[in-house]
Chains A and B, each alone.
Chain A
Amino acid sequence: MTISLAAEEVLHLGGFPVTNTLLTGFLVSAFLVIFSFLVIRRISLVPTGFQNIVELLIESFLDLVEKVSGSQKRRFFPFVATFFFFILFSNWTELLPGVGSLGFWREGQGEKVFIPFLRAATADLNTTLALALVSVAAVHILGFRELGVGKYLSKYFKNPLKEPMNAFVGLLELISEFAKIISFSFRLFGNIFAGEVLLIVVAFLAPLIAPLPFLGLEIFVGFIQALVFSLLTLVFLTMAVEEAH
């Protein structure tokens, strides 16, 4: 039973190492694109059948976005929903049979190591770090565009002579922006990686009925983590465009 924190490389594309998480990430993206394409192809104003279900999902998420951001829901919805659906399906990939179990053996440091072909994309710190960076960068870029450079920066840098307390708070908020990046990436990575390790260990110890409640837990955790990531991004986006009070 090999558990590796870092994603393992499975192919080499002309000097570029392709890891199993990268592969899975591409597959999830391709799935989402093809799925959307298939739904859009025969779209009608009065929804029937499958389109009903998809509209239900999209509308319930839109309602959630509206509760948090109110009038700006149309503006933030595509961005936040993309995070939600990509992270959701990436998280749920760890539950599919074959992910983490189908692979090959490789000689490494004198002993054979098992390298799976597929591994959940969000179980790689690189993916979650990238998502966190995009999220935090988007919040700040939006803030700059909306309020103007000077006004947005005055949220963090205040004059220490006129208002010393607020200047200190502003500095803390600046540091907390970096803490957000770490927090976003580690929360998602930790939950999904720990979930994978949990599933491997339980399957190793008692393969027959015992994994069932843990699989249920992982379905739930995958959903909640996707929701938390998207909601937090939405909350920060909403806060970035409002005037300082």
Chain B
Amino acid sequence: MDLQLLAAALAIGLGALGPGIGIGIIGGKAMEAIGRNPDAENQIRTNMFIGIAFAEAVAIYALVVALIIKFV
């Protein structure tokens, strides 16, 4: 049982849970907002992408830790 491989897999596996849910929530709220106010679609979409980039950044931190565990 290679602990290093297990650690890398767990790091990214568990680390992607939170951001996955977060991005889903952001996307859902953006859909709701567009449904309520279709004229503001462009604004909402732009801000949604910015929100998604932040949520994704946390997943990227987890990925970097996994890569460090595996390759360093």
Residues of A within 8 A of B (CB): 3-5, 183, 186-187, 189-191, 193-194, 197, 224-225, 227-228, 231
Contact = CB atoms under 8 A, between A and B. Distances in A.
Interface in B21-72: 49-50, 53-54, 56-57, 60-61, 63-64, 67-68, 71-72
Given A189-B64, A190-B63, A183 B57 contact: yes
Contacts of A190: 57, 60-61, 63-64
5 contacts: A3-B67, A187-B53, A194-B63, A224-B49, A224-B53
Interface of B: 49-50, 53-54, 56-57, 60-61, 63-64, 67-68, 71-72
A5 B60 contact: no
Given A5-B72, A186-B60, A193 B49 contact: no
A193 B54 CA distance: 17
Nearest to A190: B60
Instruction: State the main secondary structure of chain A at its contact with B.
Output: helix
B42 to A, nearest CB: 12
Given A189-B64, A194-B67, 7 more contacts: A5-B72, A187-B57, A190-B60, A191-B60, A194-B60, A224-B53, A227-B50
A43 B53 CA distance: 37
Contacts of A231: 50
Nearest to A225: B53
A186 B60 CA distance: 8
Nearest to A229: B53
B61 A228 contact: no
B58 to A, nearest CB: 9
